[in-house]
Structure 1
Amino acid sequence: MFKKLFGKEDKNISIVAPVNGKVVALDEVPDPVFSQRMMGDGMAIEPSDGKVVSPVDGEIVQIFPTNHAVGVKTSNGLEILVHIGLETVSMEGEGFEGHVSQGDKVKTGDPLVTFDKDLVAEKAKAVVTPVVITNYDDAVESFEVHQTENATAGETVIASVTAK
Structure 2
Amino acid sequence: MFGKLKNLFGGDSGIEITAPVAGKVVALEDVPDPTFAQGILGPGIAIEPTEGRIVAPADGTVDVMFETGHAVSMTTADGAELLIHVGIDTVQLEGKHYKACCKAGQQVKKGDVLIEFDPAAIKAEGYQIVTPILVCNPDAFTVEPAAGGTVAAGDALLTLKKK
TM over 0.5: yes
Q: Does 1:139 align with 2:148?
A: no
C-alpha separation in 1, matches of 2:102 and 2:13? 26
Cα distance, 1:121 vs structure 2: 1.1
CA displacement 1:51-103 (0-9 Å, x = unmatched): 11011110000110001000010123210000000000000000000110100
Partner of 1:6: none
**Per-residue displacement from partner, 1:12-49 (whole Å, max 9, x unpaired)?**
31010000001111011000000000100000000001
How do 1:25-104 and structure 2 match up within 5 A?
25-104=27-106
Superposed CA RMSD in Å reads 1.5
Letter in 1 for 2:161: T
Aligned to 1:163: 162
1:13 — aligned with what? Answer: 15
Counterpart residue type for residue 45 of structure 2: M
Judge conservation of contact 1:24–1:147 (CA < 8 Å) in 2.
no
Structure 2 residue ranges without an equivalent (≥5): 1-11
* Separation in structure 1 between the aligned mates of residue 51 and residue 99 of structure 2, nearest angstrom: 14
Alignment TM-score, normalising by the size of structure 2: 0.88
Distance in structure 1 (CA, Å) of the matches to 2:45 and 2:123: 19
Q: Which amino acid aligns with 1:159?
A: L
Instruction: Provide the identity percentage.
Output: 40
Deviates more, 1:74-83 or 1:53-62: 74-83
Q: Distance in 2 between matches of 1:129 and 1:30?
A: 11
Determine the structure 2 residue equivalent to 1:126.
128
Tell me the residue number matched to 2:150: 150
Segments of 4+ in structure 1 off by > 6 A?
A: none
Number of equivalenced pairs = 152
Partners of 2:147 and 2:156 within 8 A in 1: no
Task: Please say if residues 42 and 137 of structure 2, whose CA atoms lie closer than 8 Å, have aligned partners that are also in contact.
Answer: yes
